[in-house]
Amino acid sequence: MYVRVRVPATSANLGPGFDVAGLAVTLYNTFTFELLDEGLQILGCPEQFANKDNMTYQAFDEAAKEVGLDYKGVRIITSGDVPYTRGLGSSSTCIVAGIVAAYAFKDRYEDRQDILELATKIEGHPDNVAPAIFGGMTVSVMEDHKVTTLSLPIKNDYRFVALIPPFTLSTAKARAVLPNTLERADAIKNVSHLALMVASLINGYDQGLKLGFKDRLHQPYRGKLIKNYFPIMDVLEKDDKILGAYLSGAGPTIMAMIKAEDDKGVVRIKEELGELIEGWKVEKLELDT
Ligand code: HSE
């Protein structure tokens, strides 16, 4: 018997919603789990990740203990399109897949709240794992070990243009540059932008998005780690058809939002950015619901 889990990529923070807001997009990783009589086999990923420290295996093993799945060995086959360490939630796909698989072997794959809480414990924050589990856009609040997640409807039909650089940025490095304290004025700014961003997406108030995606908590600091980040954001800001842009998760991917009917959007963005994104991959994605 085997279990196959397909998990979407996610774009976290959405500007001001640091560690809180995220959404799932149409890029996927797929994981197949098969219980064995003994041993651990991990196939389909680079050799340095094919051992017991593998994130998918670690999550599977922890979830197996939680649900009382007494297994002797497991084979995990991974495949998919979510790029590693680019701010599109590749680690969350591994964590969520490992947990869902262990729950599925015990017929508990619908226990999403338990899956969410274990995934959040392993990842450290819920903003990638929540949309990976529930789909769509989510906002999550952590209080002690309890995670409260709301799935929110996005009113208009948008496309998400992911500008994916050829270089990586680890979440640890991108978190290390953030200040430990925030001025009250900056905190107020962040709260107000988060409220505007969420309200604009729910109500289809497109004019609110450019302002809504701004923040004072992480993007100004992380931008310095990403080649051409500030000039790219300036170009995107000036294009009236771009509804808004933000750093996806911890970066380095930059996400630009356009309307579904803007079918020339990707070509226009590539032309406008030209050499600034030389060597970058540009993917037009939809919301995964
Ligand atoms: N909220 C997280 C961060 C997402 O920005 O560090 C990346 O894991």
Residue of 128, 139, 226, 255 to test ligand 1 pocket, by largest number of atoms within 8 Å of CB = 128
CA distance 254 to 231: 12
**What is the value of ipTM here, to two decimals?**
0.98
CA distance 50 to 181: 39
Per-residue pLDDT of the chain (289 residues; tens, 9 = 90+): 899 999 999 999 999 999 999 999 999 999 999 999 999 999 998 888 899 999 999 999 999 999 999 999 999 999 999 999 999 999 999 999 999 999 999 999 999 999 999 999 999 999 999 999 999 999 999 998 899 999 999 999 999 999 999 999 999 999 999 999 999 999 999 999 999 999 999 999 999 999 999 999 999 999 999 999 999 999 999 999 999 999 999 999 999 999 999 999 999 999 999 999 999 999 999 999 9
Please say whether the beta carbons of 238 and 256 come within 8 A.
Answer: no
**Structure tokens given for 252:** 């380095």
Ligand 1 atom, smallest distance to 91 CA: 8
CA of 18 from ligand 1 middle (Å) equals 7
Answer yes or no: is the C-beta of 78 below 6 A from any ligand 1 atom: no
pLDDT of 28: 98
Number of residues assigned to the chain: 289
Q: Helix, strand or coil for residue 44?
A: coil
Model-level pTM? Answer: 0.95
pLDDT of 47: 86
Answer yes or no: is the C-beta of 249 below 6 A from any ligand 1 atom: yes
In eight-state DSSP terms, residue 40 is E
pLDDT of 1: 86
What is the residue whose two structure tokens read 């200040």? Answer: 179
Helix (H) or strand (E) holding 22, with range, is strand 21-36
